[in-house]
Structure 1
């Protein structure tokens, strides 16, 4: 059996053995009995296994065996066939990244660690190679390749995850089920949910999220809590962690932590704007977020500080640097396919079709123009707005890196910024460029975009498309309340 594989190179990487030893010391000092070995499915769901912590050293080297089809949520299509894989598919290796080890603040007997996936060493075709269905592992490699190709240039991103805290009533959820009234920025409403958001924030800090602000938003029970921006991979890991924290707080309180893009028409949706800047230099620094001994590896509390923001034009004004223009150009050229990744569900497009509620529809960019999908929200960054809180952030940031790379390599001009309100112009019959307004059109855009498809390497694009085409077909096979209300008495 060859030892010249991606798996072996990862296991034997310089410094990894020391990280494994540091984790053992943390396990013993913190009294951790169990570890979740988790990875990310193609839709952003957290998958994995749990194992006793006493086996840490073995699993840190051999990994945890898990069925290949876990990356598609073990979901059968509408015909009953497993998507992407059959039941005889082999297992793959989930190899833990030791620097992501952290204790769960709600049960300190348990810790979690993120894993990178590899093909089995016995796989007849790709023994020990990186598993291309692993969107988190892909982002790690895309980020490294981007830095190498552009002299250390790297993406830093901050997310704005909106979500609803809902109270189920008689097994149902309705707009009035929110724990707060739909009064944006109202301190009284935010105060009424104080126990919830403070518990979330406490858990988040204990797992490495540097919480910076929060508010009550426009929909019932809608709260947005923000954490400090950082490099792409740790930001995406923290988004995954944040959703897990909210789900745990909801379980404890008998609530629903809802990240669904558009639960209710007529109210603002759950967007997840990605605020992006490109940097050179900087250092990883541990932030003083929690007092005393850190309940995990210190890397969880590290953020990139310093360096040069290569997007911001230091000569003043809101327009970015020449390099920043090329980054925008790449993002604009691939905006429709990026929308498919950022707004990846049937429900996502309810958000764009409920006009006048903050969501973008324009396939263009503007200065402080919220009707545009790409908005310069500050001279030092741009905001990609066609993303909702159900996003797989690792997949989206990987795709965004591919778009930026294309823009930089080919010096793509984004054109002039849009100053009009795109929604108003479109509704009045004017000529505007629109992003896809349903999942089927978005999937068609992704199919035609080779650059963004390269963020879904190997068979990942094929499996992603199969998964989403099945979702679209399931939607078409449903009779909704709207159908009944619209057509029940339509003739004679």
Structure 2
């Protein structure tokens, strides 16, 4: 199987901590040397050492490339609170970790080293995070506040138990907005005309630049289109192993932010900036595979501007979601049905992960724009929270453009594990429009319709909580509860519009 999902294989030398085991893992010394060769070949002068916060933000430090070997061995250090964006709660206390906490150690994942195509003097590398070497408790242990490291470990455990690999793709909708004189959003670049080629053409210079940069960084870009909100595009890339797909979505967001700077636009990943038109989702198309091989896609690049891991894809093998021979071509195989059962059983808690902001629920309340509201599944039925979008995969729809993809993939693996282990039956698929089915008497559970309700559902669900191990659940809940409370405590234009002149 791929090095992405297999647990780290330590050398025969006895080591004391997770951190040292990772540094001394089999083949890493050679990878570090290969990165040095890339640095010299490409003329890299500076490197971003980055990891992902609890909200999906890219966080880290930079250092001159001269110090690569030292960083590969010692890592970068920064405060634990960076994992929760060094955010303050409404009482002005730091969320998650106070200033008295130690500093984490972020060790670069060498296979993710890649040159930035917009400034070829600079490269980036993702990191795995560990507790500080000098901590009194669990020094050098894997940091459970590291969502990327958690996903790698959760996936490895799932593979060890079931012999299966999660491969998924996502549909990263986002909006390109004009920037006003004050630097604030001034509407979409284009009109909200879905699939309209002329509106797509208006953004051609933008999306071609995004595609150029994406291919240089290893994203196999496939189809794209103009969606039905102002300036809203969906540019998809090929599905792959869960960790690499999450890395590529995060890279894609970084690329869009840079292209927006180049065109003096705003790359908006906020789910619902405009009422009355569709929000930006990030549907996940999922499947579980047995076996397969790793292939490298070079995209006709004369020199790969990064390590091979950026350009590697899992392909082939057995897709266990495919219909069984002789059965209905629409019905997934037994493992697929079990996984659907697992997702349906945990949709309430999963919504807290996939729809993780106050604004996410504007998407669910603004009826008529195909956002999922009910806990059901069907074939090609976009009124359900989950649909079988094609033989061999299903589309999870209760997820939007603000999602932390590492938390989402980990949560899906836990739901799948429950479905497979307990042989969960998802029930009959719903082929009617769910709203018509309800009019005809069908009893359907509704998804949580606010961030507060979704967090309550997550608090009751030990299976999905296990996708946020150790400190991660505490940090996620603390951050998001504060977000919800601050929203409830805020007076907005809506309040003034409705109550300023209500009496006498």
TM-score, structure 2 normalization: 0.95
Task: Give the Cα–Cα distance (whole angstroms) in 1 for the partners of residues 111 and 63 of structure 2.
Answer: 18
- 5+ residue gaps, structure 1, are none
Q: What pairs up with 1:1-12 in 2 under 5 angstroms?
A: 3-12=15-24
Which segment drifts farther, 352-361 or 285-294? Answer: 285-294
Task: Give the Cα–Cα distance (whole angstroms) in 2 for the partners of residues 458 and 162 of structure 1.
Answer: 32
Q: What pairs up with 1:185-196 in 2 under 5 angstroms?
A: 185-196=195-206
Selected match of 1:277 from 287, 295, 300: 287
Selected match of 1:161 from 169, 172, 179: 172
Equivalent residue for 2:105? Answer: 93
Contact 1:39 1:115 in 2 (8 A): yes
SS in 2 for 1:261: coil
SS in 2 for 1:331: helix
Task: Give the Cα–Cα distance (whole angstroms) in 1 for the partners of residues 87 and 294 of structure 2.
Answer: 39
Which segment drifts farther, 48-57 or 161-170? Answer: 161-170
Equivalent residue for 2:152? Answer: 140
Selected match of 2:496 from 472, 479, 484: 484
Which segment drifts farther, 130-139 or 455-464? Answer: 455-464
Equivalent residue for 2:397? Answer: 385
Selected match of 1:334 from 334, 346, 349: 346
Contact 2:298 2:304 in 1 (8 A): no
Equivalent residue for 2:9? Answer: none
Contact 1:366 1:419 in 2 (8 A): yes
Are residue 127 (structure 1) and residue 139 (structure 2) matched?
yes
Task: Give the Cα–Cα distance (whole angstroms) in 1 for the partners of residues 182 and 435 of structure 2.
Answer: 37
CA deviations over 1:214-234 (Å, ceiling 9, x no partner): 100000000000000001000
Contact 1:156 1:229 in 2 (8 A): yes
Selected match of 2:237 from 227, 232, 244: 227
SS in 1 for 2:432: coil
SS in 2 for 1:461: helix
Task: Give the Cα–Cα distance (whole angstroms) in 2 for the partners of residues 400 and 224 of structure 1.
Answer: 23
Equivalent residue for 1:437? Answer: 449
Task: Give the Cα–Cα distance (whole angstroms) in 1 for the partners of residues 189 and 288 of structure 2.
Answer: 38
Selected match of 1:402 from 404, 414, 423: 414
Task: Give the Cα–Cα distance (whole angstroms) in 2 for the partners of residues 105 and 173 of structure 1.
Answer: 27
Contact 1:103 1:296 in 2 (8 A): yes
Equivalent residue for 1:217? Answer: 227
Cα pair distance change 1:27/1:477, threshold 3 Å: same
Equivalent residue for 2:10? Answer: none
Task: Give the Cα–Cα distance (whole angstroms) in 1 for the partners of residues 138 and 273 of structure 2.
Answer: 42
Task: Give the Cα–Cα distance (whole angstroms) in 1 for the partners of residues 385 and 62 of structure 2.
Answer: 40
Query: Post-superposition shift, 1:425?
Result: 5.0
CA deviations over 1:75-100 (Å, ceiling 9, x no partner): 00011000011111100110000000
Task: Give the Cα–Cα distance (whole angstroms) in 1 for the partners of residues 431 and 242 of structure 2.
Answer: 30
SS in 2 for 1:272: coil
Equivalent residue for 1:20? Answer: 32
CA deviations over 1:124-166 (Å, ceiling 9, x no partner): 1110100000000000011111111012x11110100000000
Equivalent residue for 1:463? Answer: 475
Query: Post-superposition shift, 1:364?
Result: 1.1
Task: Give the Cα–Cα distance (whole angstroms) in 2 for the partners of residues 325 and 33 of structure 1.
Answer: 51
Contact 2:275 2:366 in 1 (8 A): yes
SS in 2 for 1:467: helix
TM-score, structure 1 normalization: 0.97
SS in 2 for 1:311: coil
SS in 1 for 2:389: strand
